[in-house]
Amino acid sequence: MTTSKSPLLIEDDAERFESPAEAAPVPDMLAAEGAAMQAVAAIAARKPSRLSKWFWRLLLALMTFALSVAAWDFVTSLVTRNLYVGYAALGLLALFLGVCVIIAVREMAALARLSRVGDIQEEVRKAREADDLAAARHASDRLAKLYSGRSDQRWGEAALSERVAESFDGTTVLDLTETTLLAPLDRAARAEVEAAARQVAAVTALVPLALADVVVALTANLRMIRRIAEVYGGRGGTLSAWRLTRAVMTHLLATGAMAVGDDLIGSVAGGGVLSRVSRRFGEGVINGALTARVGVAAMEVCRPMPFHAEPRPSVTSVVKSALTGLFSSSKDASD
C-alpha cells in the first residue's frame, strides 16, 4: 500500500495583523477625572453606620480606661519607690490632663461658635425676606459683636455704626453690613481657596507617588475649610473643621458639583493645553479646580451672611487666578 506524497495546502483564515507602522498611535493621555478629589469627597461625605459609631466609641472608652489604669499604676509604683519622683510623675500627669481638658473646652467652643454663625445666617435670611428693619438691625448688631475685638474690623465697625443709624430700610442695613464687614473677609477667604487649589494641583502634577495626591488633597481641603471658618469668625477646632468638611462635601456630591465638566477647566485649559501635556498635569488641573469648588462652597457655609450685595466668587475666576500662572511654564514648554 502506497501513501500519497503530494503537497498539503492549509488555508490560513486568521486575521491579518497590522504592522507596527500601520497601528494607530497610542493616545498621549487618558481623560483626566480628578480621581484624588473624587476620593476625598467620598471619604469626607461617607456617613458612618450606627455599628461603626459604637465600635469606635467603645474602643475609645476601652483605650482611655486602660491608659488611665496604666498611668495610675505607674504613678503609685513610683511613689512607693521614691516619694519625690512619684510626686513629679503625678504633677506631669495632672498637667497632661489639664491640657486635655483645655483642648476639649476649645473644641466645644468651636462647635458653639459654628452654631452661632448658623443662627446669624438664618436670622439674616428671615430679615431680608421680611424686609424687617428691627430684625435687620438686630442681625447687624450680632454680626458686629461677632467681630468685636478683631483689629482688622475696627474701621469697619466704626463706619457701620455711623451708617446703620442713618438707614431706615432693612435691606439697606443688611447690604451695608455685608459690604462693610464681610467684603475684606471675602478677599482673605478667596486667597485661602486659591492657595489650596494651587497646592493640590502642583502636588498632583509633580509627585508621582501612589495615594500622595489623595493624602495632600484631603489635608489641604481640611486646612482650607478650617482657615475659611477662622476668617469668618469661627474657632479653629478639629471637630468643627471635620463637621464643616462633611457638610460641604455632602452638599457638593448631592448636587453633582463634584462632577467634571468642560466648563470647569475651559478657562484654564485654553481648549488644547491638556491634550499636549501629560496626564498628571491634566489631573492636577482637575483636582485644583474641584478644590476651588469645595472652597467656594465652604465660603457659603462659613459666611455669616448669604451673598447678596457682594458677588458670589466664581469658580472659574478662582481656578483661573490660582492655576493659570502655575501651569503657564508647562504650556510654554509644550508649545
Q: Which three cell numbers stand for residue 270?
A: 485654553
CB atoms under 10 Å from CB of 177, counted, come to 27
Identify the band that residue 190 occupies on the pLDDT scale cut at 50, 70 and 90. Answer: very high
Give residue 142's pLDDT: 86
DSSP structure class, residue 32 = P
User: Mean pLDDT highest for which of 16-25, 44-53, 163-172?
Assistant: 163-172
User: Does residue 211 surpass a pLDDT of 80?
Assistant: no
Q: Do the beta carbons of residue 143 and residue 272 sit within 8 Å?
A: no
d(CA 183, CA 66): 51
Tell me the per-residue pLDDT of 139-165, one tens digit each, with 9 for 90 and over.
Answer: 888 888 888 877 777 777 777 777 777
Q: What is the DSSP string of 117-185?
A: HHHHHHHHHHHHHHT-HHHHHHHHHHHHHHTTT-GGGHHHHHHHHHHHTT---HHHHHHHHIIIIIHHH
User: Does residue 42 surpass a pLDDT of 80?
Assistant: no
Classify residue 137 as left (phi > 0), alpha (psi -120 to 50) or beta: alpha
Tell me the per-residue pLDDT of 91-131, one tens digit each, with 9 for 90 and over.
Answer: 998 999 899 899 888 888 877 887 888 888 888 888 888 88
d(CA 37, CA 289): 9
- Give 243 or 186, the one with higher predicted confidence: 186
d(CA 218, CA 238): 14
Q: What share of the chain is helix, strand, coil (3-state, %, to 5)?
A: 75, 0, 25
User: Does residue 56 surpass a pLDDT of 70?
Assistant: yes
User: Does residue 167 surpass a pLDDT of 90?
Assistant: no
CA distances from residue 175 to 93, 140, 163, 298, 307 in whole angstroms, order as listed: 52, 10, 11, 21, 10
Q: Which three cell numbers stand for residue 20?
A: 507596527
The single residue listed with the C-alpha cell 467620598 is 42
d(CA 95, CA 46): 36
d(CA 271, CA 17): 36
Tell me the per-residue pLDDT of 228-267, one tens digit each, with 9 for 90 and over.
Answer: 888 887 666 677 777 777 777 776 766 565 555 545 555 4
